[in-house]
Chains A and B, each alone.
Chain A
């Protein structure tokens, strides 16, 4: 279905939107729901799509981003530059790696914890609150704390030494090979609460009868979890996979605040690279180009994931 007719309607006075368009039954217009979604559409088109269009235009410029400075048009040179930019490809690779790991770990912990919390546990509400509080805190709030924890003299090294793993202590943020896992750890710390809450919610939808039936059939706890509960939470997993991918592509706060994308671009993501290019590198046009690439990737990734999960749903 094309968007053109709907778009045309958008510009008219609101009361005109419901005019029957011939194809519809005499009772109902195909457009009858439009006024209901109109406020959201206006908000999103006006404030998100306009900026996207603007970025598309800016991506053809050589411009420092200051409104009073005159830009020069350079066509697709920024795009050519992007495809040859090792930092860009590096950031992409980091994103993929980061997404696969954080998503798996979050799903595992979130799912397990949700199952545990649905069992009879003392202090359950307190535990749930503790896991969810990181979601609520601004990343900027916790960044200095994590920098300290993973420092040479930080609590993590102290913990390692006190359990006899002193040989493993090191400044964790100083080496790209250890800084990236730290970034992932912080991300998992921050977002598992959300994963947990969603699984917890999905599990409370399951009817006790099914679980009971499984138990009568002699299935153990883990068997039940794996073959009954997990498949029934597939919708949640699929949605989290899409949200996680989008989140991974947008990753900005944590690497920016904790490692500044370093050392040596070792924790560089598209988000940090775009911000750095724009704010410190003063190449707004190039930053816009990277932003457009990010949007394309995010939309494509989201659609692909959505299609693949809905296909597996049907099977």
Chain B
């Protein structure tokens, strides 16, 4: 072999090789810069707020870019010299990405956290955030806990540390229907399983889908299941998640049977477990192919004409006529007569990174969004979230509903019901319980698990957590 002969100049060869590699490496470490904010001062700003400067980065899986822009614009009227850049991070990888980032000074200054253990869970990220108690006390007074929704207090606190300031809450437990379809076939919102089946068979005869659920995305299965549980005994689900009631309780066996009946009685569309709630079920509902869907209070924003048109366009409808959607209580599957309750908790809160070098500006931003009248009004008017600050509600006269005569009163009642909920949605669900719910609910739906097996799986996780 040629290599057996020794090269004369190994040394220069080595140096050559190494320097080529170094050259390539150094040519590749580029850098960049960001532009300065365009400041416009407005009424509401004081000398102190104007004096505060900063250039913040805010990370979240929500809100949408449009909404974030509105929120930041409102903030900049008061704090004209603090620039905020919202960076939307995909929900599925939020935790993987946020983890490293907030241990570095190059990470975000402000980041979203959520109650429970799904993306951005407070217990996971508490070590990377500062305690917001002093800031909120300064903003709202020492009785701040009475001024904000309870969903933003305990579920956002880890070991005495207020990790995030709740921006707003979401509630679930009711469904949404396409009123235009219901009207067309002179149907009434179902209140029992029998009525629900009648509605579905009428729709099917007319070639319209009835109820659509992306049952492959089990977070929404958990909503439906909790709604079923609420119907059997309000707050039962939350108590079990807190370990006060066993999942093997016979009432849950009934709930599982009810859950299964949705699949067996032709209410769930065929192949539900193969679909995701987003994008599949959402797009099927918005494009008018199905008449009912299990979505929570965040869906209220689809009653706004513009949002609905955008949503329908995004679902692939060409030049859409916005549809009228209405919230309806979950039907009385159990025959208990207890219907209409909802459950919910903080959708997200804003946390300030302990590694941020601009904590003052970051705190000012979080406080303004979460506790100021003006900031919370922006949140309220998008109808996406129910604001955290008590006394702030949507300004309906400024909102362009698709069909105000039908929707307005219903929506007001809906929001009143939502804020009076006592049960939690995700706050007490641990990561392992969440996984167990996936296996239990999808296993039941596809007939691969019995109710006993499913419930024992849930209880096993609950026992292990003790």
Contact = CB atoms under 8 A, between A and B. Distances in A.
B279 interface: yes
Contacts of B102: 68
A100 B431 CA distance: 35
Nearest to A43: B21
A173 interface: yes
Interface string B1-37: 0011111001101110110110000000000000000
A264 B443 contact: yes
Interface string B113-128: 0000110000011011
Contacts of A280: 95, 118, 431, 434-435
Interface string A143-166: 010010001110000000000000
Contacts, number: 130
Interface in A226-262: 259-260, 262
B4 A173 contact: no
A45 to B, nearest CB: 14
B180 interface: no
A263 B10 contact: no
A174 B3 contact: no
B274 A39 contact: no
B320 interface: no
A278 interface: yes
B4 A27 contact: yes
B96 A279 contact: yes
B124 A64 contact: yes
B195 interface: no
A32 to B, nearest CB: 5
Nearest to A65: B99
A174 B14 CA distance: 58
B124 A69 contact: yes
A264 B92 CA distance: 19
B271 A152 contact: yes
Interface residues of A, number: 45
Interface in B284-315: 289
Nearest to B283: A148
A153 B290 CA distance: 12
B275 A174 contact: yes
Interface of B: 3-7, 10-11, 13-15, 17-18, 20-21, 92-93, 95-96, 99-100, 102-103, 117-118, 124-125, 127-128, 216-217, 269-276, 279-280, 289, 431-432, 434-435, 438-439, 442-443, 446, 448
Given A35-B13, A280-B431, 14 more contacts: A15-B14, A66-B124, A66-B127, A66-B128, A68-B128, A152-B270, A170-B270, A171-B270, A171-B274, A173-B271, A174-B216, A174-B273, A175-B271, A175-B274
